[in-house]
Structures are given as structure tokens and as C-alpha cells.
């Protein structure tokens, strides 16, 4: 066997030496010609794409230049750089009304910065580790290429040898595949780049473009992803860690393989020393500082296993302070501009949201949801029946909430909390996409319509008693008891169901349904499908979204004027040009609707209703506990609401400038929150925490009232009539508001002398109760 193999190789050698010209001249020459033809074909392909390539290169350079101008505060000229022609993806940023970033949309995390923002150490580290002859070659390092080719042949691989310029060409213009064709193509590109641009331009483009893993492109976004600060503020050790990632983000990113990253960062610091960019003592210090500052911990094998790198709030650089609102923005702009432009176009979206108020609203809502979830979990722990205990635990998992605040005069959305958290399993926007029975939070519109019709006044006396109406409907009060004679103001303050139904039965449906139709701008078909003429309307049994509920209450506060809630003010492209002024469009649309609808609610009737709703925070009112707990000692009004079987807990609270609606309930539908878990108990405190923060320094002014058509009158709360003397009546309301001509014209006949002061009315305090 050995003899046959040896003879085979000897015959091959004999042939080679007997055909020297073929072996050593013709065959190499043929290979050379074939290689030349192959390269020439690639060159022709390059020439066919050259104009497009150079155009991309030029526009990318323009992007860098414009960014530098912006960083220096220079004017940004229009018309030179279109968002739909960008050669790289720029995140779209969402700003609040004060210019704070509250969110980003992106396909690639990228933030362009000028070269002078990038530390010299980082630039030197790139040169030391990636391309030591960068300032000497013209795009291709031929000596380095020969060394790499020899190494690749020896190791049977195809890798390495690319200069920084070639890497720029590869990332920007090729499909990144490993092949001889790609290497040749990028060589032509590298030569062209070097011919047209200086070394500073090439470095600037390269460092803003290259990929660092975790969807991050460029040194600025990577710096923020790793260290939570701009690249211009990095230490030398931090610069080394950023550069360490370049060659292979999967292997050397500190977020993926910490030990590899730490080891290579130290090696890069040593490369800076070897290249003459850094003293050894300084390199050692910077490594120690990196370990100390980021609390890098090592195991007994001296392997880095833990650190604070990437552990801060913006570690993924996906800013999202208002997740459900930002998703609403994304849906809106995606429809207008398309997903591609939204993710890559570098838009700046300026919104109506107040980031500080948004943060407080979200924290307040989460506190309430956590409390309700704990309520169910505590019940589960106390129930021995496993099936029922599991039911309570499932309820806890599905508790959600919504909290939206509007400017009642403009319709601007001030805060927007669509749920506890926006996750893969919870993307339902409870502010806009969910409808539930609003319960007694709808009652103000029943009372307002009757006041506008002059069927009632705040002093009108009605009887709270068990009542069977003509259609057999027999409503029950939340407390399960009846109060007897009671004036309208007190009935609304205590949210008595029977009285609300009596008021609707007396006034009818047309006016209150007219409020709903016009304020929500609903077509006839929707009104017919969603709302019916039944007496249960008085108790809020027809469904509304929290945003719709807030819009209705805003119409009450603003004196009956149509508004359209909106969250986007205007959108700018990357050149700082306004490409969509939504605020102007909304203003035109609202003005047109106001001409069409006129005044939706009589301003005087609205003012009287709001004045009555201030009583909700007074002793005996359904939110008096919230007022006491959070120090609400400024002009405010509101209405609690609880749907049947305590399924939904609502609160609509408002000041002169802000109208808020809070909802808490079960994500799965009409599932009880638990006996007594009413709007005054669950939802009113959410608003209380929020509003006490908002007005912690400057208190709001009183609600705006019409200058004419209203009068003030002190009344006895027991009789609804004018006290003979204030001190005779034990319960009075000073300066009660009335539509002129409807104030009571009789003196109180229950308390006529000084001894009547001792005749206390049999009032039952119902703090937190609701109908």
C-alpha cells in the first residue's frame, strides 16, 4: 500500500518537472488572467453603481456636516437632505411640551455627533487596534493585505486585513457577506472614498456608522447604552471598551460577554501604549478606574462576571416615559408617514404631554393597581377553597387602569396612562381602546341637562325612597338605604341613584344625549348602537372610554365648547422643517365644529353643575376622604363612579385648567373588584395624589363662570330654602350658585328661630360611597 502511494506521488512530480513551462508559466499566467478578468468584471459592476454609491456617500457626509452645524448652533438650511433618502437610520424622537424626550422610535439606535465630540483617546484606540497605518495608506494597506492573505491561506480562512476606510465601505455600501467579490468591491470603494474625503471625514463617518450590537450604531448611542452618558464625556478606559466591541459585537460587547470585553479593553489600552498614544502608568490607572467605577466583579478564576455597565435606566437607550401615549403617537404617524419613515427618518415629534405630570400620573396609577392586586392576593391567601383562591389570584393578574388628563379649553392631552405597563402581554390602550360603564361619573350630565331645562335647581327638594318607575325599573342606592327628603345639591354630593333616575325621568333624554353626540362628535349610527333611551342611563350603564369621559367633562368645564383631544403639536424632519402642524389642523377642525354645533352645554347650567360637584370633596361627599388626605384646599370639583357589582371604579376630577379621568378595573371585563371597592376608594386617591403634586406650589384659580345670568344665594341644606338667619340653620351653603331667576324664593320653614340650631338633621356620612 505504501509503495503504491509513493509511486503515485513520484509520478506527479515527474510530470511537473517534465512540463515546467505549463506548471510554472502557463498555469500561473492563466490564473492571473482569470483573476484579472474576474476583478475587471467586479470593476464594471462597481462602475455601473458608482453614481448611486457616490450620491449615498455625499448625502451621508452632508448629514455629518449638518449635525456639526446643529451642534454649533448654526442655521440648518432646508431642501438639501430629504428624510426618505437617508443612507442611515436616524431615530424618531418624541418630545413633551417642554422639550424633554419622552420616547424614541427606531430600527437602529443611532445618534450622529461631530468628530470634535469624540475623545482623542477613542480615535487613537481605533487606529491602534483596527488600522495602525491609517494616516499613511490611501485606502488599502497593501503590505498588511499580503500578510493577511498568507495567514488566511495557512489557516484556510477569509478574514481580516481591512482598513478603516474599507470597513466604512463595507458597512455603508455592501451586503456584508464574506467573499472575494466583496473584498474586491470594497477595495474600489475605499480608494474612491480616500480620493474624495480627508482622514477626518472618514473617521467621522466611520465612528457614526459602525455597529456595536444590541441594535446600536455609532459611538454616541453605544456610549449611552453602556455608560449612560455622551461619548464626549467618556474616560480613556470607557473609550477602550467601546472600541473593543467593534471587531465582533457578539463576542466583545460587555452586555453579551463581559469577561471578553474586559480582557480586550485592557488589551486595547496596551495597544495605545505600544503605539505611543498613552503612557503605561496612565493605561494601568484607566483600567483600574474602569473596574472601580463600574463595579466590575471577578470570580476565583479572575474572570469578570458582574458589573453596572448598561444597568441604569437608559441602558437600552429606548426612552419610553409614556409607553401607551407613545404607541398612540406611533399608530398616528405610521398611518400618515409610514413605518419606514417613522423608524428611520429622524423626525422630532413635539407633543402636548407634560413629562413631569406624566411621571406622577403613572406612579400614582401603579400604586393604586398594586394596592388592588394586593387586595385580591390577600383574599386568595385567606380562602381555603383552592378554586376560589385561584380565581382571586387570576383577578390580581388582570387588574389594570387608565388615567388621562386634558386641557379642557384646547383639548391638549397633558398625561396619558393607558395601563400598568406596555408589554408583549399587555398592549391594550385602556385610555382610548377600551369602553366600560362609567357609573355615577355620568350623573353630572343628567343633572346639568335638567338645570339647563330649569326642571331643577341645586335647592330643589326630592324624595329619596324606593321607587318603581313606569317601565318597572326599580333602582337601588349604593348604601342600600334611602334618605327621604333631600335637595338636589346633596343628592349629587352623596351620589344617590334614585334621585338621579327621577331627574332623568322628569327631564327626558334628548338634551343629555345631545351633549354626548355633539361633545364626542358621534354620527347617528353610532349613537343608535351605543346609547339607548332607558332610565339606567342616569346611572352610567352605557359604555364610554376614559378619553371620551374626559372629553365630556371637559365640555362641562369649558362652558359647553366643542374640543377634540389631541397629543401631537407638530412634527419636524431631521432638517428642522415642520412637515406636519397638527395643532393648526385641529384648530381649524374644532372651529368648524363649533360653528356647526354652537354651544353644546349652556354655560350657566355648566357653572351651576360644577359648583355642586365641589361638594363631592366636602364632608359626606363621595371623595371627601381624598380631599382630606391630599390637602385639596383649592377650587376643585369631581365625580366618583362605580359600575354594577363594583366592576369598574371611576373618578372624574377637575380644576379650572385640568380635567382628569381615572379608571380601575379588570382587564378581562365585567369582573368584580370586591365589595366596597368603589370609585371613591380606588380611583379618587389616584387623582388626589396627582393633583396635590401638580398644585403643590401655585394653587389654581376658581372655575370660569359666565359674567351674566348667574346669581348667588345662601340656602339651608335641609330645606333648600333661604335661612331666616344663617345661624338658625345647622347646615347651610353660602353663595350657592343659581341660574338667575331660579333661586329659592322662600324662607326656611324647618329652622325659624335660635332653638332650631340644635335640631341636627339626620345626615349619614358616606365617605367613599358611590352609586
152-180 pLDDT per residue, tens: 445 444 445 578 888 877 776 655 455 55
Beta bridge partners of 640: 651
Cell of 452: 339647563
Beta bridge partners of 487: 461
Give residue 91's pLDDT: 75
pTM of the entire predicted model: 0.71
Q: Give one word for 650, left, alpha or beta, with left for phi > 0 and alpha for psi -120 to 50.
A: beta
Which position has the grid cell 427606531? 106
Contact (CB, 8 A) for 103 and 322: yes
DSSP 156: T
Show the CA angle centred on residue 667, arms to residues 664 and 673, nearest 5°: 50
Give residue 89's pLDDT: 63
Give residue 767's pLDDT: 38
Give residue 480's pLDDT: 86
Give residue 195's pLDDT: 84
Strand intervals (E) in 97-149: 101-105, 109-110
Distance between CA atoms of 587 and 145, rounded to whole angstroms?
64
Give residue 105's pLDDT: 75
Give residue 686's pLDDT: 98
Which position has the grid cell 477569509? 158
Cell of 427: 398592549
Backbone angles phi, psi at 256, to 5 degrees: -105, -55
Provide the 3-class DSSP secondary structure of residue 295.
coil
Distance between CA atoms of 178 and 160, rounded to whole angstroms?
10
C-alpha dist (Å) from residue 21 to 9, 14, 757? 20, 14, 131
Low-confidence stretches of the chain (pLDDT < 70) are 1-54, 56-57, 60, 63-90, 106-109, 139, 141-161, 172-183, 311-319, 343-344, 424, 755-771
Cell of 9: 506521488
476-533 pLDDT per residue, tens: 998 889 999 999 999 999 999 999 999 999 999 999 999 999 999 999 999 999 999 9
Give residue 113's pLDDT: 85
Amino acid at each position: 500500500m505504501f509503495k503504491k502511494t509513493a509511486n503515485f506521488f513520484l509520478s506527479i512530480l515527474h510530470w511537473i518537472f517534465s512540463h515546467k513551462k505549463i506548471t510554472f508559466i502557463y498555469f500561473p499566467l492563466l490564473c492571473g488572467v482569470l483573476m484579472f478578468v474576474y476583478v475587471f468584471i467586479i470593476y464594471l459592476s462597481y462602475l455601473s453603481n458608482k453614481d448611486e454609491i457616490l450620491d449615498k456617500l455625499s448625502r451621508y457626509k452632508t448629514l455629518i456636516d449638518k449635525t456639526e452645524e446643529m451642534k454649533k448652533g448654526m442655521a440648518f438650511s432646508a431642501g438639501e437632505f430629504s428624510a426618505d433618502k437617508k443612507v442611515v437610520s436616524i431615530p424618531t424622537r418624541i418630545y413633551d411640551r417642554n422639550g424633554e424626550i419622552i420616547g424614541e422610535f427606531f430600527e437602529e439606535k443611532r445618534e450622529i455627533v461631530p468628530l470634535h465630540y469624540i475623545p482623542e483617546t477613542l480615535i487613537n484606540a481605533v487606529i491602534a487596534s483596527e488600522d495602525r497605518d491609517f494616516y499613511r495608506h490611501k485606502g488599502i494597506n497593501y503590505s498588511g493585505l499580503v500578510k493577511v492573505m498568507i495567514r488566511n491561506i495557512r489557516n484556510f480562512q477569509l478574514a481580516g486585513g481591512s482598513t478603516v476606510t474599507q470597513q466604512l465601505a463595507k458597512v455603508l455600501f455592501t451586503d456584508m457577506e464574506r467573499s472575494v467579490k466583496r473584498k474586491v468591491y470594497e477595495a474600489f470603494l475605499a480608494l474612491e472614498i480616500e480620493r474624495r474625503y480627508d482622514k477626518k471625514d472618514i473617521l467621522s463617518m466611520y465612528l457614526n456608522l459602525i455597529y456595536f450590537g444590541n441594535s446600536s450604531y455609532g459611538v454616541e448611542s453605544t456610549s449611552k447604552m453602556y455608560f449612560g452618558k455622551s461619548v464626549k464625556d467618556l474616560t480613556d478606559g470607557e473609550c477602550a471598551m467601546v472600541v473593543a466591541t467593534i471587531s465582533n459585537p457578539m463576542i466583545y460587547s460587555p452586555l453579551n460577554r463581559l469577561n471578553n470585553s474586559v480582557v480586550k479593553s485592557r488589551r486595547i489600552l496596551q495597544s495605545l501604549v505600544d503605539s505611543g498614544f498613552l503612557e503605561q502608568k496612565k493605561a494601568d490607572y484607566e483600567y483600574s478606574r474602569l473596574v472601580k467605577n463600574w463595579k466590575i466583579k471577578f470570580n476565583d478564576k479572575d474572570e469578570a462576571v458582574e458589573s453596572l455597565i448598561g444597568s441604569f435606566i437608559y441602558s437600552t437607550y429606548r426612552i419610553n416615559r409614556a409607553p401607551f401615549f407613545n404607541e398612540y403617537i406611533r399608530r398616528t404617524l405610521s398611518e400618515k408617514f409610514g413605518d419606514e419613515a417613522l423608524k428611520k427618518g429622524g423626525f422630532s415629534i413635539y407633543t402636548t404631554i407634560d413629562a413631569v405630570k406624566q411621571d406622577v400620573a403613572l406612579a400614582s396609577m401603579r400604586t393604586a393597581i398594586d394596592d388592588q392586586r394586593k387586595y385580591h392576593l390577600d383574599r386568595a391567601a385567606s380562602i381555603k377553597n383552592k378554586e376560589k383562591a385561584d380565581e382571586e389570584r387570576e383577578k390580581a393578574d388582570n387588574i389594570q387602569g387608565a388615567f388621562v388628563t386634558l386641557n379642557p379649553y384646547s383639548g391638549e392631552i397633558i398625561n396619558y396612562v393607558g395601563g400598568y405597563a406596555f408589554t408583549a402581554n399587555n398592549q391594550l390602550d385602556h385610555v382610548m381602546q377600551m369602553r366600560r360603564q362609567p357609573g355615577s361619573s355620568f350623573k353630572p350630565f343628567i343633572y346639568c341637562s335638567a338645570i339647563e331645562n330649569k326642571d331643577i335647581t341645586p335647592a330643589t327638594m326630592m324624595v329619596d325612597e324606593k321607587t318603581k318607575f313606569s317601565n318597572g325599573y326599580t333602582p337601588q342606592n349604593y348604601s342600600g338605604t334611602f334618605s327621604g327628603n333631600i335637595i338636589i345639591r346633596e343628592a349629587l354630593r352623596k351620589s344617590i341613584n334614585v334621585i338621579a333616575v327621577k331627574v332623568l325621568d322628569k327631564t327626558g333624554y334628548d338634551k343629555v344625549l345631545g351633549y354626548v353626540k355633539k361633545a364626542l362628535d358621534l354620527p347617528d349610527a353610532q349613537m343608535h348602537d351605543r346609547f339607548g333611551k332607558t332610565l339606567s342611563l342616569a346611572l352610567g350603564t352605557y359604555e364610554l372610554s376614559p378619553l371620551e369621559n374626559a372629553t365630556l367633562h371637559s365640555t362641562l368645564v369649558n362652558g359647553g365648547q366643542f374640543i377634540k383631544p389631541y397629543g401631537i403639536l407638530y412634527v419636524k424632519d431631521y432638517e428642522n422643517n415642520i412637515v406636519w402642524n397638527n395643532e393648526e389642523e385641529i384648530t381649524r377642525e374644532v372651529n368648524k365644529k363649533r360653528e356647526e354645533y354652537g354651544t353644546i352645554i349652556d354655560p350657566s347650567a355648566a357653572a351651576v353643575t360644577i359648583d355642586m360637584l365641589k361638594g363631592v370633596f366636602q364632608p359626606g361627599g363621595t371623595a371627601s376622604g381624598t380631599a382630606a388626605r391630599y390637602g385639596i384646599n383649592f377650587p376643585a370639583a369631581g365625580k366618583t363612579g362605580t359600575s354594577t357589582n363594583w366592576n369598574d371604579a371611576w373618578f372624574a376630577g377637575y380644576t379650572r385648567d385640568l380635567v382628569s379621568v381615572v379608571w380601575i378595573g379588570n382587564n378581562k371585563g365585567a369582573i368584580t373588584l370586591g365589595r366596597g371597592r368603589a370609585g371613591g376608594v380606588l380611583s379618587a386617591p389616584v387623582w388626589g395624589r396627582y393633583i396635590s403634586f401638580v398644585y403643590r406650589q401655585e394653587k389654581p384659580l376658581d372655575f370660569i363662570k359666565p359674567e351674566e345670568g348667574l346669581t348667588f344665594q345662601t340656602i339651608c341644606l335641609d330645606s333648600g330654602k333661604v335661612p331666616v338667619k344663617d345661624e338658625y340653620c345647622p347646615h347651610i351653603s353660602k353663595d350657592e350658585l343659581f341660574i338667575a331667576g331660579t333661586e329659592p324664593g322662600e324662607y326656611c320653614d324647618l329652622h325659624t328661630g335660635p332653638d332650631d340650631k340644635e335640631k341636627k338633621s339626620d345626615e349619614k356620612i358616606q365617605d367613599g360611597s358611590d352609586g
